[in-house]
A and B are shown apart, each in its own frame.
Chain A
């Protein structure tokens, strides 16, 4: 406690000193208004947003339709990261060209997505279905229990194979193709190719989910079920089956997000992903509005850009505190909860839940 206070005081002093360092501040401000700074904040922000969106969208779909807060969502992303990492490392141990690597990434992503969709469907049928009639506390305890079990199992399996379960298993990062590891000049800013790749993937996933929800009959049933599952059932549609499908797809999307994290130096396969991903996914769906697809998309962009802006503030030394991005994101969460508790696009009550 005392150490914390002293540390805190030191940080404040450093911050004050930095703020007092006017030439530095003026320099930083000058740089902020340059196109390359702007490009960097926006492109990196959108890259982060894409990752956040993929990690959060499954959570919001499941809550929207079923009213279930899936606390095992982060664990599914963790499994996705490890599974993706194992597959990539095994397949590319002999080395491969950039195109083969990227093609293989998509194959691995599809495999992990399919596998985790099946796992999610099985969890819904076997574990969640028997407790729909109980209070949400049961669902929270159950899914959180699943998350803890998966985290510990992963820790055991990783350790048995001589892999450090935390902070990160770095081998999969070695499989990133040079084209994505390289930096590209955008309006004078040096931007890692991975961010651009993440933006493309985020757009692909958002479009696919949006088309599924708005252009297919099953998507229509899901949207109707999000409002009033009992009414949908009374129209002759098996809502329970839709629950299984959506829980499966939500889980699969978390796994897909995990695969993407495998190459990201800020994340990487680690048992810490269980809680970290869960936190970020919850922050995004709460800011966007629980159950809202559009809200999740907008919140992911807001959080992603805020994250990249505060990261820039830190790396330029304007605010010398590495915790700034995380603090800002949680401040955003608090702000939304105070000003608009249902989230940006949330309705007061979702689906009668």
Chain B
């Protein structure tokens, strides 16, 4: 049984038919990259998994359980974490409060906080600072940490390197590797080499369907089957 299965998922924004039958599987402990041009439905796939934009047709199964149409907090409570595009910090809460919201009430907050502070010393330094006053890189670290301190078996990570300086990207990649030791990951990433480097397998989306998939081993952007879909 796969950890996550999407079967013929169709998702709409109003009248716009964004996902037109996405089928994919994610096994425990792997990192799966979703790649493709802008607007092909990568983010929508993540939103459909979390039921933030519930599919109109098809099924999403997590640990074999059909979660289609459930409420988002239930799916999240089953162990699906989200590191959204543009970070979505609670800007008027402090770093520490952002983490507190993300740790389940019955979990050991001190221990989880120590775990991410160890990983990102900057966050500890700015623990009492409001998140909106952090730099872009620090915010991304906080967004990742928020996903890492929850009871998550699956982390949906959307564009973690977007808009960050190369040095910061390296730090984020390190953190993603660290996180992947603990959880399975679905990674949406525009930076193709980075995605191939981090992920074990990939799904290539185009116009709301999966057009290619397989192991990332030896795959380069020059591959004809990839280039056709990635170049504008």
Contact = CB atoms under 8 A, between A and B. Distances in A.
B20 interface: no
Given A223-B90, A238-B73, A232 B82 contact: no
B88 A228 contact: yes
B90 A236 contact: no
Contacts of B84: 231, 234
Nearest to B83: A234
Contacts of A230: 52, 72
Contacts of B73: 233-239
A223 B101 CA distance: 10
A148 interface: no
A124 interface: no
B22 interface: no
B208 interface: no
B91 A224 contact: no
A1 to B, nearest CB: 49
B55 interface: no
A342 to B, nearest CB: 14
What band does the interface of chain B fall in when counting residues whose beta carbon is under 8 Å from A?
20 to 34
A2 interface: no
Interface stretch (B32-40, B92-100, B165-173): B92-100
Given A220-B93, A230-B52, A237 B101 contact: yes
A227 interface: yes
A217 interface: yes
Nearest to A214: B97
A227 B93 contact: yes
Secondary structure at the A interface, as helix, strand, loop or mixed, is helix
Contacts of A220: 93, 97, 100-101
A324 B14 CA distance: 51
Interface string B68-112: 000111001100001010001011110001101110110000000
Contact of B52 (A217, A234, A236): A234
Contacts of A347: 92
A221 interface: yes
B113 interface: no
Contacts of B90: 223-224, 227-228, 231
B150 interface: yes
Nearest to B78: A236
Given A227-B91, A234-B52, A236-B73, A217 B146 contact: no
A217 B88 contact: no
A106 to B, nearest CB: 31
B101 A234 contact: no
A234 B81 CA distance: 7
A221 B97 CA distance: 10
A235 B150 contact: yes
B142 interface: no
Interface in A175-227: 217, 220-221, 223-224, 227
Interface of B: 50, 52, 71-73, 76-77, 82, 84, 88, 90-93, 97-98, 100-102, 104-105, 146, 150
Given A220-B93, A235-B102, 19 more contacts: A217-B100, A217-B105, A220-B97, A220-B100, A221-B101, A228-B90, A231-B90, A233-B71, A233-B72, A234-B50, A234-B72, A234-B84, A235-B73, A235-B150, A236-B76, A236-B150, A237-B101, A238-B71, A238-B73
15 contacts: A217-B100, A220-B93, A220-B97, A220-B101, A223-B97, A224-B93, A224-B97, A224-B98, A224-B101, A228-B90, A234-B72, A234-B82, A235-B146, A236-B77, A347-B92
